[in-house]
Structure 1
Amino acid sequence: MGVETVGRRKVEGSSGVEGLSRLGLGVGLDMPWGGRVGFSTTGGSRGGDGVTPAVRQFLERQLSAFSYLFFSFQPRDYGALEGARYHAAYDDICSLLPADMPRVFHHTRLNIGNPEPFDKEETARFTNDLIARYGFSWVVEDLGIWSFRGKPLPYPLPPLLTPEGREMCIEHATQWRQLLDAPISIEFPGFTEGGTFYLGHENAFQYFSEVVETADVLATIDIGHIISYQWIRGVRGEAALQELELLPLDRCVEFHLSGCQIVGNKFRDLHHGILLDEQLELLEHLLPLCPNLIGVTYEDPVFDNQGDFAPKTVPNYLRLVDITERWFKDAQ
């Protein structure tokens, strides 16, 4: 499947994604090592590192529905962070993509929300090796605290919502923009009640905008993360829609939608493939407000070993396809 690039509205400036207009619907895959879905040390076409059989089946059966793909970084093991140790696996997944299909790297090592300075040289060298080899159109990572003083967290926490925390985020984001050989897009963090906590009293939407704009980077908006932040604070209805104006909508190049659920009046970002009606409604509201949007990503679809979508995920996935197709055609 070739990639159609329609529309004329592009992100301008040094932080922009050069040469890409609207791409339409993309797919994002979390790729841990050793499970049914992800990478395996025996999954490659030559028996070495590569995608698992379930991922291979999914890409072969479903990839034609998508115009770009991102996969996330998960550590292979506790060994050195060297690009060569990941080449075989990443070669394998990229071999399953059309040569002209844009691919994106979802990082988990940039640690932009870290409240302290840290050395970025090793991660920058690793990432630039991958950018050179695979031609990633952009690199994305949540504005979160992924590790602290060298110790990884089980789930990224939102940054410190304080003036000092904001200034450190700006410093990290600016440094990554300067260090990486591809544009960087920062994703609004998750605020899942019971799964994360946050410290500070600044409005996270305004905070996020100031980080993105001051650091001169791109923005990714996860629809579930937006709802989770409003849900945990009890913001609903018209007030919730008005608050969205605080987001850096003109710098947003990508939306993420992953499976979410409301359980016991608490919002859960479960990544189980089933999209909520509320996510799709919010997506329709935001699409016309983001003039530089490139794509809408269905993140972490759930599929069986034959590559077919889990039946419960299909109805709202098809609604997502329809919404995105109508937005895509508006550019023509």
Structure 2
Amino acid sequence: MTAAAPSPTIPRTSRLGLGVGMDLPWGERIGFTPTPGGGDVTPRVRAFLRRHQEHYGYSFFAFQPRNRARLRAADYVPAYDRLYDAMPSDRPRAFHQTLLNMGTPEAYDRRPVADFTNELHARYGFSWVVEDLGIWSLRGRPLPYPLPPVMTERGLERATANAREARELLRPDLHVEFPGFTEGGSFVLGDLDAFDYFRRLADDADVRVTLDVGHLLSYQWLRGRTGSAMYDGLDALPLERCRELHLSGCQIVRGKFRDLHHGVLLDEQIDLTRHLLARCPNLLGVTYEDPVYDEGGALTPKSRPNYERLRTLVAQWAAEGTGEAA
């Protein structure tokens, strides 16, 4: 199988519009499946791409290990080639890593992960690599949900050095994603303000950033900033460095914010996205992350209303960037 065509170059002033991000674990109905030829996307994923791919100006998928063997790009390329064969070749594509572990307070050798990522980039031409600023593993053991970095001055110093190192090791651009603070799904060590922490890290490590709207809201809910207060403090974020927004399915359960990735967007996520679109001057696009769909590729009924609201909002923003809105 030949390599997929490289991702097109993106002008810095581009507005790519709506993108899709997919978590594709091995052995799940929405994911990759092992085959004698080295793996493939499942029929459900193919059905979704056939039905919806014209909605999206770019895409990414998140790395999921197929086993605990040593990282080898050759073990993943057959499946990744088949994924990209099922998608338009003329649109930018990115890669969501889960192994850079930039939030960890421990010493961590990122070179094997960076080498693996760079080898994939040489084949697929990723426009950027993104990963949450989280603690993804401790002492070599992956965590079920990435924890926020340690919110102290020492933790900030370590996380900044980690992000700078990852940026220097990777050939494609690195986007560092604001971490999640889901109450009940993670816990927080330290008391620094997360928005100021993230801005200081982005400036000192000189990295571009991704703002996950659900992650921002998870922090606001943790701080008791609900309703109109959900906009408080956002100006402390590195908004001028933001290149991408993420939205994944979230839910408020008994007053607590849950980042469930179940496809259903909250009204608050749409409202906050509208607020951020006007305040992130260098934004490339807005990603609908982890859609949930049936065997025919149709989005679940509960997810459709706010998905369509998001599509309309982002299409208007993208048109304004090209002067077509009028």
Which TM class, normalised by the smaller chain length? over 0.9
Structure 1 residue identity aligned to 2:184: G
CA contact (8 A) 2:38 2:75 kept: no
| Residue in 2 that maps onto 1:229 | 219
| In structure 2, distance between residues paired with 1:61 and 1:326 | 22
Supply the RMSD in Å over aligned alpha carbons.
Answer: 1.5
Alpha-carbon offset, residue 254 of structure 1: 0.4
1:172 aligns with 2:145: no
Structure 1 residue identity aligned to 2:40: G
Alpha-carbon offset, residue 96 of structure 1: 1.4
CA contact (8 A) 2:130 2:175 kept: yes
User: Residue deviations 1:17-54, cap 9 Å, x none?
Assistant: 76561100000000100010100113xxx854010110
Query: Any residues of structure 2 matched to 1:5-20 within 5 Å, and which?
Result: none
Q: What stretches of structure 1 move > 4 A for 4+ residues in a row?
A: 16-20
Query: Any residues of structure 2 matched to 1:1-332 within 5 Å, and which?
Result: 21-42=14-35, 48-331=38-321, 332=323
Alpha-carbon offset, residue 240 of structure 1: 3.5
TM-score, scaled to structure 1? 0.92
Evaluate the alpha carbon distance shift between residue 157 and residue 278 of structure 1 in structure 2; reply closer, same or farther with a 3 A threshold. same
Evaluate the alpha carbon distance shift between residue 97 and residue 20 of structure 1 in structure 2; reply closer, same or farther with a 3 A threshold. farther
Structure 2 residue identity aligned to 1:230: Q
SS at match of 2:245: strand
CA contact (8 A) 2:14 2:284 kept: yes
| In structure 2, distance between residues paired with 1:242 and 1:189 | 18
| In structure 1, distance between residues paired with 2:299 and 2:111 | 40
CA contact (8 A) 2:103 2:133 kept: yes
Alpha-carbon offset, residue 324 of structure 1: 0.2
Unpaired runs of 5+ residues, structure 1, are 6-15
CA contact (8 A) 2:32 2:42 kept: yes
| In structure 1, distance between residues paired with 2:79 and 2:185 | 31
User: Residue deviations 1:118-171, cap 9 Å, x none?
Assistant: 111111110100111110000000000000121111110000000000011110
SS at match of 1:289: coil
Alpha-carbon offset, residue 317 of structure 1: 0.3
Structure 2 residue identity aligned to 1:98: P
Structure 2 residue identity aligned to 1:312: K
| Residue in 2 that maps onto 1:13 | none
User: Residue deviations 1:73-130, cap 9 Å, x none?
Assistant: 0001111101111000110111112221111100000000001221111111101001
CA contact (8 A) 2:177 2:210 kept: yes
CA contact (8 A) 2:73 2:119 kept: yes
Alpha-carbon offset, residue 297 of structure 1: 0.3
Structure 2 residue identity aligned to 1:24: G
Percent same amino acid at aligned positions? Answer: 56
CA contact (8 A) 1:117 1:168 kept: no
Alpha-carbon offset, residue 238 of structure 1: 5.0
TM-score, scaled to structure 2? 0.94
Alpha-carbon offset, residue 185 of structure 1: 0.2
SS at match of 1:330: helix
| In structure 2, distance between residues paired with 1:247 and 1:237 | 19
Evaluate the alpha carbon distance shift between residue 119 and residue 47 of structure 1 in structure 2; reply closer, same or farther with a 3 A threshold. closer
How many residue pairs get aligned? The number is 315
CA contact (8 A) 1:17 1:138 kept: no
SS at match of 2:282: coil
17-26 vs 143-152, which deviates more? Answer: 17-26
| Residue in 1 that maps onto 2:4 | none
